[in-house]
């Protein structure tokens, strides 16, 4: 049953559900907006990434929460401050659905300052439009005041997430990601409570000689999830970019009608679909470098490496998630730079373990405190608003109910960092060849003696010169670094077991899979 939502705070004025053209006109009048030579808008924001340190759950007992949390009394104080502020502001309402399946969609509302109309325009591209807004009753609401400072919080910024009420209040951040994630974070809880698992994942459909194959790509923001989803194998089509729900029986549901893509190092040659989409007039850009003529430079990081863009799936060739039945394979992305192979095949327990480990190298998408650092984020999902043990155990339960092939995919390097000339880069064509081989079942495998998973002995499309990315052990031994390899193996095993043991309710089978 949908929650009974409290009425929106009164405002100086409210414009509800404007057209995309009207929202773009308002956004174009913003002082930090520039028009590119492609006719779209490029906004320069003050906040450059998600504000993890400022995000708090509103709960009865903050001390008992494993996440950053504040009391309900403090949540009510923040709500009162925001309501008083909104009373003197012009506001916009955007209504839509998270999810497009009539049997599995969540009515959601964004209420945001008109002074930041780009947030409304970008969110409109990601919500699925309702047939009518008459009588529209949101189950989730994001109340967004980018210009309201709240003293006493990091950078005078707070994102207060009240799962019980289905309301997220965002204060003092003009970064669009807080709108997008504000709704999806609450949606995560709804999916879990309905017996499924929210996955921070893209989804694509790949045609093969034995029929279409549905793949899910799980990964932390900035580690190649969108790139892997949008690369084309056999005329494959992207279906979803960022979040899906996987339910018992393997049924997959989509969340968004568009994409919030990272634009750093975007090239027309390597990623033609994304490049074409973000250079259309209707796309919105955030913090992308451009010169006086309006030409874009996706490689200039002088302001930030976390340049972004939103675009609608209607502007590209994409699949329809309502046509999906169940997933055939799942990829767990791990951007690494030592002994993780470009691909490894996992059994069910290993899959749950590596899903829980969520290992990767942080990027600017998570803010300066994460960029370049080795991270472990359970499920590679920093937006799961509950105990993380639940993610791992639910994953194993769903695997038992609907078996699918699971693979670990390294989107980084093998043999060392970029500065080490002995290392090898896992390039986009390598990953694309691997995804094609997985879908077509053409990869040859053998057991890895150190980690127990299977590694590829060969992948069509990866030649002998680049085969080191498939077999890190061979790379280290051929370079006389066998002792280094053995030391990393021992360290990783110990660290992984120690990390998983931090989750007391996690299944023993999952913990044992990394020993």
Residue ranges per structural domain of the chain: 13-31+51-174, 198-256+321-512, 258-315
Over the stretch 83-113, which tens digit does the pLDDT of each residue have?
A: 999 999 999 999 999 999 998 999 999 999 9
The two three-digit tokens of residue 474, written as one number: 């061979």
Q: How many percent of the chain have pLDDT more than 70? A: 97
Assess whether pLDDT exceeds 90 at residue 339: yes
In a 13 Å sphere around the CA of 268, the CA atoms on its Cβ side amount to 4
Over the stretch 234-248, which tens digit does the pLDDT of each residue have?
A: 999 999 999 999 999
Q: What is the dotted CATH code of the domain comprising 198-256+321-512?
A: 3.90.228.20
106, 137, 141, 398 from 6: Cα distances, Å: 17, 11, 10, 35
At residue 475's C-alpha, the angle toward residues 472 and 477, to 5°, is 110
For residue 507, give the DSSP letter: -
Assess whether pLDDT exceeds 60 at residue 367: no
Over the stretch 265-304, which tens digit does the pLDDT of each residue have?
A: 999 998 999 999 999 999 999 999 999 999 999 999 999 9
**Amino acid 2: pLDDT:** 42
Phi, psi angles (nearest 5°) of residue 479: -100, 10
Least trusted range by pLDDT, from 31-40, 70-79, 383-392: 383-392
Assess whether pLDDT exceeds 90 at residue 4: no
Average pLDDT estimate for 182-210? 97
Assess whether pLDDT exceeds 80 at residue 361: no
Place of tokens 């020993």: 515
Could you give the CA distance from residue 434 to residue 423 in angstroms, rounded to a whole number?
A: 19
Could you give the CA distance from residue 413 to residue 393 in angstroms, rounded to a whole number?
A: 30
| Per-residue pLDDT band at 5 (split at 50, 70, 90) | low
Under 8 Å CB-to-CB from 218, ≥6 apart: which residues?
199, 200, 201, 225, 330, 331, 332, 333, 355, 379, 380
Could you give the CA distance from residue 118 to residue 112 in angstroms, rounded to a whole number?
A: 10
**Amino acid 369: pLDDT:** 53
Average pLDDT estimate for 456-461? 96
**Amino acid 132: pLDDT:** 87
Q: In 10 A of CB 58, how many CB atoms?
A: 24
Instruction: Tell me yes or no: is domain 258-315 CATH 2.170.8.10.
Output: yes
**Amino acid 1: pLDDT:** 34
| Per-residue pLDDT band at 250 (split at 50, 70, 90) | confident
| Per-residue pLDDT band at 191 (split at 50, 70, 90) | very high
The residue among 123 and 336 whose pLDDT is bigger is 123
Under 8 Å CB-to-CB from 486, ≥6 apart: which residues?
none
Average pLDDT estimate for 296-314? 95
| Per-residue pLDDT band at 6 (split at 50, 70, 90) | low
Question: H/E element holding 35?
Answer: strand 33-35
| Per-residue pLDDT band at 222 (split at 50, 70, 90) | confident
Could you give the CA distance from residue 105 to residue 108 in angstroms, rounded to a whole number?
A: 9
Average pLDDT estimate for 2-7? 55
Phi, psi angles (nearest 5°) of residue 512: -65, -20
Average pLDDT estimate for 439-453? 96
| Per-residue pLDDT band at 511 (split at 50, 70, 90) | very high
| Per-residue pLDDT band at 362 (split at 50, 70, 90) | low
Average pLDDT estimate for 429-439? 96
Mean pLDDT for all residues in the chain: 94
Over the stretch 373-406, which tens digit does the pLDDT of each residue have?
A: 688 999 999 899 999 999 999 999 999 999 899 9
Nearest to 485 by CA among 416, 413, 412: 416
Query: Which CATH code, of 3.40.50.2300, 3.20.20.330, 3.90.950.10, 3.40.449.10, is assigned to 13-31+51-174?
Result: 3.40.449.10
Burial class (CB in 10 A: 0-12, 13-18, 19+), 309: buried
pTM of the model: 0.92
Q: Are 202 and 216 a contacting pair, CB within 8 Å?
A: yes
Could you give the CA distance from residue 482 to residue 488 in angstroms, rounded to a whole number?
A: 10
Phi, psi angles (nearest 5°) of residue 347: -80, 180
**Amino acid 13: pLDDT:** 98
């Amino acid at each position: 049953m949908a929650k009974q939502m409290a009425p929106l705070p009164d405002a100086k004025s409210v414009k509800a559900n404007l057209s995309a053209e009207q929202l773009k006109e308002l956004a174009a009048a913003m002082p930090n907006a520039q028009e590119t030579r492609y006719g779209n808008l490029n906004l320069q924001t003050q906040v450059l990434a998600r504000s993890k340190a400022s995000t708090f759950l509103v709960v009865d007992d903050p001390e008992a929460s494993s996440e950053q949390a504040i009391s309900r009394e403090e949540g009510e104080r923040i709500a009162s401050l925001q309501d008083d502020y909104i009373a003197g502001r012009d506001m916009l309402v955007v209504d839509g659905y998270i999810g497009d399946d009539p049997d599995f969609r969540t009515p959601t509302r964004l209420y945001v300052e008109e002074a930041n109309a780009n947030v409304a325009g970008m969110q409109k591209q990601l919500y699925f439009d309702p047939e009518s807004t008459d009588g529209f009753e949101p189950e989730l609401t994001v109340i967004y005041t980018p210009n309201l400072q709240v003293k006493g919080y990091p950078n005078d910024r707070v994102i207060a997430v009240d799962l019980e009420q289905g309301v997220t209040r965002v204060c003092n951040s003009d970064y669009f990601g807080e709108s997008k994630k504000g709704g999806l974070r609450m949606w995560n809880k709804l999916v879990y409570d309905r017996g499924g698992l929210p996955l921070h994942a893209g989804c694509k459909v790949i045609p093969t000689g034995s029929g279409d194959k549905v793949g899910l790509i799980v990964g932390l923001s900035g580690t190649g999830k969108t790139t892997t989803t949008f690369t084309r194998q056999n005329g494959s089509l992207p279906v979803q970019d960022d979040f899906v729900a996987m339910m018992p029986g393997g049924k997959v549901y989509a969340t968004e009608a568009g994409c919030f893509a990272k634009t750093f190092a975007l090239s027309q040659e390597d990623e033609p679909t994304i490049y074409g989409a973000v250079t259309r007039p209707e796309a919105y850009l955030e913090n992308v470098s451009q010169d006086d003529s309006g030409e874009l430079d996706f490689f200039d990081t002088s302001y930030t490496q976390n340049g972004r863009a939103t675009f609608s799936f209607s502007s590209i060739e994409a699949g329809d998630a309502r046509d999906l039945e169940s997933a055939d394979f799942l990829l767990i992305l791990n951007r690494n730079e030592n002994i993780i192979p470009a691909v490894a095949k996992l059994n069910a327990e290993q899959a749950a373990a590596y899903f829980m480990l969520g290992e990767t190298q942080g990027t600017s998408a998570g803010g300066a405190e994460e960029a370049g650092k080795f991270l472990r984020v359970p499920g590679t999902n920093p937006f799961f608003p509950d105990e993380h043990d639940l993610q791992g155990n639910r994953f194993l339960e769903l695997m038992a109910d609907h078996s699918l092939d699971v693979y670990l995919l390294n989107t980084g390097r093998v043999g060392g960092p970029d500065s080490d000339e002995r290392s090898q880069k896992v390039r986009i064509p390598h990953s694309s060849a691997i995804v094609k081989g997985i879908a077509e079942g053409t990869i040859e495998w053998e057991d890895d003696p150190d980690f127990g998973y299977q590694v590829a002995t060969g992948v069509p499309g990866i030649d002998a010169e680049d085969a080191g990315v498939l077999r890190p052990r061979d790379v280290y031994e051929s370079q006389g670094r066998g002792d280094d390899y053995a030391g990393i193996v021992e360290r990783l095993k110990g660290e992984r077991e120690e990390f998983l043991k931090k989750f007391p309710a996690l299944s023993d089978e999952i913990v044992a899979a990394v020993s």
